[in-house]
A and B are shown apart, each in its own frame.
Chain A
Amino acid sequence: MSMDRKRFLKLIGVSAVAAGLPGCGPGAGGGTSGGSRLPRRMREPVQLPGAKMAVVKGAGPEAITRRAIEELGGIGMFVSKGDKVLVKPNIGWDRVPAQAATTNPEVLAAVVKLCFEAGAGQVLVLDNTISDSRRCYVRSGIKKAAEELGAQALYLEDYNFRSVNVGGELIREWPVYKDALEVDRIINVPIAKHHSLSRLSIGMKNFYGLMGGRRNQLHQDVHLSIAEMTAFFAPTLTVVDAVRILTANGPSGGSLADVKQCDTVIASVDPVAADARAAGLFGIDPAEIRYLVIGSQMGLGSLDPATVETREIQL
């Protein structure tokens, strides 16, 4: 049987498609990426000589953000030259900044700018959104703010989730966004919001946005899952945007009547204390919030902000 060029190419094409197709689809190749060395944030946790938390109140989101990080010893304590940094905002909803459902773009921009000032090699800004991600990235103003400064605000790609051992009692093996596993530093930049199941959605809950898979199941034990994710992602620094806070109908909001102007930024290396301090802005006792209690019991931080060395500053 003779085989001309055309037939040969056809055969190759058909067999390539036949061989390739069954293995495709979302989540393909979801093997555990074992063996890789720990990212820097796990190997070298930050040790601060002075205050562990700074609460700055005043006009100008950028100014108060900068000041809060300065009070902790400056961005150089957290980011070194060449670091790959993930700055994680909350942009889960198709809302504009005034509606206080998404991180204030000026706060995020201040953090990104500081990272580059400290010599960061690469700054990533991303979130696994709930509403359509294009609308969230655009309408929150985060994509524009990040990209103008040279950070990458990329939409998540299905092929970039890796199923890994999260190490929790509840969350054992779960798909996690690849970049969150690899970066040297995670700086969490959440907005402080009401949430009807966990009561508040601030820093620790923000890590839902680095998870893939069936996230809607996590609600069934929302408090434990929040604490376990915080333990897993080990944020280097939490910068809570409380310029505007959402006091009701959270976490999606939408009504300006539920927004309260607080003009505050809280920066801390202690993820539990940062959320506990932000709870004060809502007039909520942190001890009433179960995920904070669980987090402190797990040794992730202090439930009582009074026990943490804090700089309170009014600009």
Chain B
Amino acid sequence: MRTARRVSQVLFFLLFLFLLVMTEYKGTDEIAYPVKVFFDFDPLVAAAAFFAAHSLPAMMFWSLATVALTVLFGRFFCGWVCPMGTLNHVLSHNRLKAAENIRRNRYDGRQSWKYVAVVFLLAAGVLGLQIVGFLDPFSVLIRSFGLAVNPVFNYLLRATFYPLLALDWLWLTAILEPAFSFLRRYVLSFEQPYFYQGLFIGLLFAAIAVLNQLRRRFWCRFLCPLGALLGLLSRFSLLKLTVDEKTCTNCLSCRKNCEGACEPQSTESWIRSECLPCWNCVESCPHGSIRIGLARPRRSEQTVDVTRRQVLASVGSAVGALALLRIDPRKLSPSASIGAGRESKRFNPALIRPPGAVDEREFLERCVKCGECMKVCIKNAIHPTLAEAGLEGFWTPYLKMQLGYCEFNCTLCGQVCPTGAIQRLTLEQKHKTIIGLALFDKNRCIPYSLGRNCIVCEEVCPTPKKAIFFEEVEVTDHTGQRVTVKQPRIDPHLCVGCGMCEYVCPLVDKPGVYVTSIGESRSPSNQLLLDVYGGGQV
């Protein structure tokens, strides 16, 4: 069984890596693979999305399968499927003495932290606060791999190949170029990715990795809220570990190799909610005394070690967190169901959400900050926020037009969003979706400020009738001559806020034209012109 478990772990990890690589434009308008499939089977994200947003994308009903299987067979998902678990498993490899491993693999009371975490996250969800993404293992894994690990991997490979290829040594190029082309086509990102906060997210991930040196599978034992949820569900599972006391010599080889610290050395001490069923105990027992089988659970058995006081404390902190995070200058209404009324007029100009994003209140209730949209964005325009969306919206996606822009005919971000925070758009809908509005800074824009021609912005404006037009104006140039220049202007009826103008502006440090969030079609309040919006959907 241990071999079967290992095969399963390797296959699911490879599946994860494959889907991560495929979370990119590969020549078709539709993503060809179900890249968000791990989320579809994640009951924690499903529960949080359901509690906070009161609705569930259809695909997430698959998570009920995970629930059902866990109720039957315990935390097999952690030990056999979860790629985050596999990664921690591998990184937990150590060369400590046997006695030290036996000591460290003793059940630790602090393993109840994760139950506190899951109660906190779900209680926050019930209150409408969607913060599960900070700790949900797939959100953590995809965010870390997409925004930090993959850029590092790309950089190192490119940094190896580029200088060698630039040498122009024919024999070397003949060897390396096909290899690099192959890598670029099948493994690397098309361009070197860069993500705002990538370093920070990477360091946090490195910390999770390093913690495994303290305790084996530190993340899974102490922190993982999904593991905790599955632990709670496994309470009545049929999984049953029995130790034959007649043959057992108490050598503790089982505990030495235990992944979950579930005390497998006797039938009575075994804690089913901590058991990842990894089968290490069974396979490492020199006398074959341990059996894992199926049986009806008994009440007296060890289960989840979490006190009523801890539960109350975490619910209480969820209430506190709600207040702390929600008191925000934007004065978002406490619930999406409450009408706009006299809602705030304070909007962050930088908070340009991806096309198809739902209105901000509901967006925050849905988004799990997984970074799928950021990974897939064809021009690397979508980045995680720092404080632009308030603390509640930390790491939610927004577009930074100086780093990339929204490609007019691309609809990828809505295709990969696991929770419907970004809706899937048809191309026709996408062309009509306004994410912001570009306006000129006449103090910087070249034809206004320097009296020379430029209008690169007008050239690239992608709407079929260009949203940037120009007036021919006679001005005095720096030599005192009268010259005619084309001064660009915006037609707000046509601009969709894609940011291509800002991206190509020759004023590369601080563009002379830039997009802000005003006019975004998802918001009834962040609006500028009556005749464009008119207070209702067009």
Contacts and interface: CB of A to CB of B under 8 A. Distances in A.
B163 interface: yes
Contact of A251 (B378, B459, B486): B459
A134 B190 CA distance: 9
Interface residues of A, number: 42
Nearest to A133: B190
A220 B459 contact: no
A28 B180 CA distance: 16
Residue of B161, B464, B470 with most chain A CB atoms under a 10 A cut-off: B464
Residue of B166, B453, B461 with most chain A CB atoms under a 10 A cut-off: B166
Interface string A193-225: 001110000000000000000101101111000
A29 B506 CA distance: 24
A220 to B, nearest CB: 5
B27 A249 contact: no
A216 B505 contact: yes
A132 B498 CA distance: 14
Nearest to A161: B166
Interface stretch (A17-25, A44-52, A56-64, A77-85): A17-25
Interface string A130-148: 1110110011000000000
A59 to B, nearest CB: 27
Given A135-B25, A196-B455, A216-B505, A23 B463 contact: no
Contacts of B452: 220
A220 B453 contact: yes
B462 interface: yes
A155 B188 CA distance: 14
Given A132-B379, A196-B486, A253 B464 contact: yes
Given A196-B458, A255-B465, A20 B167 contact: no
A219 B465 contact: no
Contacts of B407: 94, 131-132, 135
Nearest to B180: A157
A94 B405 CA distance: 14
Interface residues on B, range: 35 or more
A160 B158 CA distance: 13
A255 B407 CA distance: 17
B533 interface: no
B378 A132 contact: yes
Residue of A21, A135, A158, A222 with most chain B CB atoms under a 10 A cut-off: A135
B22 to A, nearest CB: 14
Contacts of A220: 446, 452-454, 506
Contacts of A221: 453
Contacts of A222: 453
B509 to A, nearest CB: 13
A49 to B, nearest CB: 38
A159 B162 CA distance: 6
Contact of B162 (A24, A214, A253): A24
A268 interface: no
A138 B180 CA distance: 21
B393 to A, nearest CB: 28
A28 B166 contact: yes
A139 B160 CA distance: 32
B160 A195 contact: no
Given A20-B160, A94-B407, A197-B453, A219 B464 contact: no
Contact of B163 (A28, A33, A93, A217): A28
A77 B516 CA distance: 55
Nearest 8 Cβ contacts at the A-B interface: A29-B166, A254-B464, A255-B464, A24-B159, A159-B162, A216-B456, A159-B165, A216-B506
Interface of B: 25, 27, 158-163, 165-168, 180-181, 184, 190, 192, 378-379, 407-410, 446, 452-456, 458-466, 470, 486, 504-506, 508
Given A24-B159, A222-B453, A252-B460, 18 more contacts: A20-B160, A20-B163, A24-B158, A131-B462, A134-B190, A135-B378, A157-B180, A159-B161, A195-B459, A216-B506, A219-B455, A219-B456, A219-B506, A220-B452, A249-B464, A252-B466, A254-B463, A255-B465
25 contacts: A20-B159, A23-B163, A29-B166, A29-B167, A93-B462, A135-B378, A157-B165, A157-B184, A159-B162, A196-B458, A196-B459, A196-B486, A214-B508, A216-B504, A216-B506, A217-B506, A219-B453, A219-B455, A219-B506, A220-B452, A249-B465, A252-B460, A252-B461, A254-B464, A258-B464
